[in-house]
Amino acid sequence: MPAYHRLRIISGTHRGARIDAPKGDKTRPTSDFVREAAFNLIGPVDGADVLDLYAGSGALGLEALSRGARAATFVENDRDACRTIQANLQKLRLIGARVRCEDALRALAADASAGRRYDLVLLDPPYEMFSSLQIALSRHLPAVLAPDGLLVVETAAQEAPELPLTLRTSRKYGSKRLTLFEHE
């Protein structure tokens, strides 16, 4: 994997703009192809309040903002990744964004306790951690997802996420899988 990743915004007001991913191999940025596939499945995000958990480069949340989301909260515990997200936000002059440099499960639990709701939750944890995270995620994700909200989970293709929400669709894209959930 290259030491420095270059990505681009696929659509919206910042279409074609280049964004950076953190240096090194701690993060695995969602490719342009998979991001485009995800937003084709998600549909319009105009006015949405977005939560990007395990944000990494922030590419998913940045894409949502470019496509008209009202606000995005990026949660990532790696300090270099947080700085990269912040730099991308400044470069693109995107407003309505907040970067929380903290553990995703703790942030999720805090938002659930506070009654915070999101229209779109983007979840892309390290693939090798997903199985061990499912129980903790199951405890809090339904509480933070707005009644008509959508949860998008990116995992390795062989992983089939199971969460206490209604499965909308699950599709493989090469070595990756996108699974969308909603409330009943």
List the chain domain ranges.
6-182
Could you tell me what percent of the chain has a pLDDT over 90? 74
CA gap 156, 67 in Å, rounded? 26
Could you tell me what percent of the chain has a pLDDT over 70? 93
The residue with tokens 């009943």 is: 184
For the stretch 94-152, pLDDT in tens is 888 999 999 999 999 999 999 999 999 999 998 888 989 999 999 999 999 999 999 99
CA gap 63, 41 in Å, rounded? 14
At 3, list the tokens.
């030491």
Average pLDDT score, the chain: 90
User: Taking the model in full, what pTM does it have?
Assistant: 0.92
Q: Which CATH number fits domain 6-182: 3.50.50.60, 3.40.50.150, 3.40.50.300, 3.40.920.10?
A: 3.40.50.150
Strand runs (DSSP E) across 124-164, as ranges? 145-156
Mean pLDDT over 61-88 rounds to 95
Report pLDDT for 6: 66
At 46, list the tokens.
């105009």
Report pLDDT for 21: 80
Could you give phi then psi for residue 27, rounded to 5 degrees? Answer: -115, 155
- Residue among 11, 7, 33, 10 nearest 21 (CA): 7
Could you give phi then psi for residue 115, rounded to 5 degrees? Answer: 75, 20
Measure Cα distances from 175 to 53, 156, 163 in Å: 20, 6, 21
Max Cα-Cα span within the chain = 42
The residue with tokens 């998979």 is: 34
32-42 and 59-66 are packed helices; what angle lies between their axes, rounded to 10 degrees? 50
